[in-house]
Amino acid sequence: MLLQNMLKLPFTKHNLAVFGCAKDKDWQQALRIIGDKFDHWYLARIPNDRSSEINEIRDFLLKNGYKPSQIECFDDISMAVNKAYSQLEKEDRLVCFGSFLVVESAYKIIKS
């Protein structure tokens, strides 16, 4: 559904993703479906013991065609969101997803 809604939106120059997810979620399938729609990834650990390992997510993206220069890893969601937000240019889109904790953190940062 995220992909369908994203593709309905007007033109964007670059799509940037902030992503973090629990290890018990099927994040691999989600990234297979939506993965090639992003130009840059900002991966973040979610703040609990259920967090997926960001190195594992990074390795998955690398195996699926992304270059190391397109992926950044962070131990903290707010650091990932702040970095991604600071990189936005006119006509870019920032999509934060994977866990409600990622969305909540992004919302608070962007709103302030």
Q: Encoding tokens for residue 70?
A: 């397109």
pLDDT at 70 (0 to 100) = 98
pLDDT digit of tens for each residue in the chain (112 aa)? 555 665 666 667 899 999 999 999 999 999 998 878 899 999 999 988 999 999 999 999 999 999 999 999 999 999 999 999 999 999 999 999 999 999 998 899 888 8
Cβ neighbours of residue 52 under 8 Å, at least 6 residues apart?
A: 20, 21, 22, 23, 25, 27, 46
Map tokens 């964007």 to a residue. 12
pTM of the predicted protein model = 0.88
Separation CA 29–CA 27 (nearest Å): 5
Q: Is residue 38 part of a domain?
A: yes
Q: What confidence score (pLDDT) does residue 6 get?
A: 58
108 within a domain of the structure (yes/no): no
Nearest residue to 73 (alpha-carbon basis) of 100, 51, 88: 51
Say if 110 falls within a structural domain: no
Domain assignment of residue 88, yes or no: yes
What angle separates helix 27-34 from helix 54-63, to the nearest 10 degrees?
40
- Domain around 40: 17-99
Domain of 56: which CATH number?
Answer: 3.90.190.20
Residue 69 lies in a domain: yes
Domains in the chain, number:
1
The answer to whether residue 33 is domain-embedded is: yes
